[in-house]
Amino acid sequence: MRITRVLSGALLALGLAAGPAAADSTPSASPSEDGTGPTSAGTSFRTATEVEQGQTATASASTGDYLYWSFPADSGGRPTVKATVKLPDQHASQTWQVDVYDGLRRRQACQYGAQTRTAAEGTASVELTCVLRTVRAWSEPWANDPLPGTYYVRLTATGLKASDLGLPMNAELRVESKHIGGSAAVDGSLAEPLIPGVAVQSAAQDEDEDSSASAVLSSLEPDDGWASGWWSDRWVWSGIGAVLAALAGIGGYTLTRGSGRPRQVPPGA
């Protein structure tokens, strides 16, 4: 009966520990109610249009333009960038490419996906996909690992013919993230997410007085703040290991302690 009570308590503790892990397994994206996003795109890193994960951003431009968007990504998530380019009826062969950069403007390699595709002559549209590596909470200074912060998406065509320059085109962009969990967790975290900003000096009111302000180039962040993925299933597996070790100790003690009664010596021994 004692072992049964211990096992029941252990199962209850595991159930309570697994509850938060199941709640944290949802994607980190926070789409709007209708899923629609901005209807324009920037032309440089500084003018990149902000888009939340789960939204669909659209833009109308000319072939040959550079289109830029930015989105936030937190630790533990694996962002997926999908871009669709709708081309005019008449055009020559075109090669389109989508690139992703982090807050330090370091180009991030795609783990998999069609990052570059060629649209044959007369093709109506072309779809591009870039699945990034899992965003890490911390990394070595020399590494190029994805870190929490702002990410930039650049969409453009390469190797265009002169006849295609300036033709109208429409682009759609959608960013989503999949929460990976404890398998990608690391020990350590950044002091601040990689959000680019620029210092702007305001006019001094007098000769002895000076004031300054900071203008941030990106204002989007996860709904529950940065570094929101502090909980991972590593906590659950650690708890399971501790409970199993405790049960093994209790079982070993029960088997080795005996009945607890003194040994009887037969008469005449």
Could you tell me the CA-to-CA distances from 250 to 10, 48, 244, 255, 259 in Å, in that order?
Answer: 12, 61, 10, 9, 15
- 248/251 Cα distance (integer angstroms): 5
3-class DSSP state for residue 253?
Answer: helix
- Tell me if 121 sits within 8 A of 57, measured CB to CB: no
Going by their DSSP bridges, the two strands 67-73 and 49-50 should be labelled as parallel
pTM confidence score: 0.69
| Domains of the chain, start order | 29-191 (2.60.120.380)
pLDDT tens over the chain, length 269 residues: 444 444 445 444 444 444 444 333 333 334 445 567 899 999 999 999 999 999 999 999 999 999 999 999 988 889 999 999 999 999 999 999 999 999 889 999 999 999 999 999 989 999 999 999 999 888 787 888 888 999 999 999 988 889 899 999 999 999 999 887 665 566 667 777 888 765 444 333 444 444 444 445 667 777 666 765 555 566 666 677 788 888 888 888 788 876 555 566 666 65
